[in-house]
Structure 1
Amino acid sequence: MGTSWSLQAVSPPAGTAEGVQAALDIVVAQMSQWEPASDLSRVNRAAPGLWHDVPNELAHVVETALDIAQASGGAFNAGLGQLTEAWGFGSAGSVGAVPERSGAAIDRTIDFDPAARRIRRAEGAALDLSGIAKGYGVDLVAEWLLDSGIRHFLFEVGGELRGEGIRPNGQPWWVDIEMPPTSSIPPWRIALHDLSVATSGNYRRGFNAGGQHYSHSFDPETGRPIVNGVASVTVLHRQCMMADGWATALTVMGPEAAIALADRQELAACVVAGDREHVSRAWRAMMD
């Protein structure tokens, strides 16, 4: 997934690191757009319009991604792979230039058949799960750790975290939420006690061309990087996959619409736009 992982655990037995890596290897083998042999890459190489059987883990993530897409009015879109490649944020690497066509009207639909556990893509779609797969990897490892009898840990993949239980000193797993470098807002300190956190930072990846900065976060309606003023979105959720996917979706929507949707979905969300901070009702309730 192009990043690192870290684990803090109370009394982990021998072989824990190998077990963690084995769980993450499942995610890479099924969902990485950078691995030519992954199931995701196989689907993207095949002819559009045809159904493809996929393994359980990939099917689960695609189904969740499509659920978030529907609930967010399309702000999350798992079919933007061709778009991210064209803008230099995919497996081909940086292009450092603005593509000639944004392709806003292209059909990027991903269909999922839950009964048969199969997916198909439209001609203009390529599966891209970079906005949700890291979070799923965190959950997959967390469930393996719990099943292995490890009850107290903090696990992180590329800035997405899940905390279970408590530290040996009786304290929860405290983490500071990263704020955009251009913001003067002090960071939140969160107790991850049986809780996950994911942050979508619009400042983390991008490139400058013609005096303008282009983000790696895309508006599916325009086919171009977002220009809504959102610098970062943080979501707290029991499942890291949900926190990750929703942080991606809310980033696309803009601060007011994002918080309105977070309230309807009862999500604990914090949106940073410039030096303004917007928080949902569920976020405020958790901070009381």
Structure 2
Amino acid sequence: MSKPAFPIVIATRESRLALWQAEHVKARLQALGHPVTLLGMTTKGDQILDRSLSKVGGKGLFVKELEVALEECRADIAVHSLKDVPMDLPEGFELACVMEREDPRDAFVSPQYATLQDLPEGAVVGTSSLRRTVLLRALRPDLRIEPLRGNLDTRLKKLDDGHYAGIVLAAAGLKRLGLGARIRHEFAPDSMLPAAGQGALGIEIRSGRPELRAALAPLADTTSWLTVTAERAVSRAMGGSCSMPLAAHGQWQGEELVLRAAWGEPDSASTALIRASSRRPVTDLASAADLGDEVAELLLAAGARRATPNA
């Protein structure tokens, strides 16, 4: 017997990509019979564009206002790019659904050059991600890595205006907005390990809403959820935040999840990366988290450092 449908309000950022994501969830829920409306909001992360996220409070700035809307009952669910969601949610909130993942890879975008390796010595590449900075530095230590903030359209405009020879963006966002043609090259995970949760959409609710959890269950993708749980467990164990140049990416080989991670020195000219990996059968969220904890311990044993509490 099908459960009764009920109205659902989605809290979302107002960037074009965030609205696409919210509309995607809206369409899925409407197909199940739920009346759905959007509550668009501008977050502090969207407003502060002159400083890197690591210096102004981290990616949690993109979700705080949405959580306030949930807490005040102005919205029922919040749709997030999972890589923007802090590893530990505030008390009273929970991740109720992870949807099927889009392409988790990073993409090289340039009006002139086909790949990162084609860039001339000293060329300027744009990114404000510390993870991408240390990985780019390992691939091409001769390049100049310059900050790049703003929503997807803003970043592309800065590129087109000639401020950068190339920029690095998440492939998922470009593809979701129909901008896949802008991608010149998709980095293989071996060379540019993605961020934990990159390409996945997570739906957050207030705890104690079993009817919402049940309504969202048909949208969940078990394989994606297990994979990102392992990835996020690495970040959680490392104290991961925007101030941590950490990559974590899982890929399935049969029943086993192969989890790899990389850590770089954030305040050093060194291009050396510390890498770790492990694999095991993963059947539930607990075993996925255990795999992530194991890989984090391997990173620490190899010389990586946890983020400091105030980072």
TM-score of the aligned structures, taking structure 1 as reference length: 0.29
- Structure ranking higher in helix proportion: 2
TM-score (norm 2): 0.28
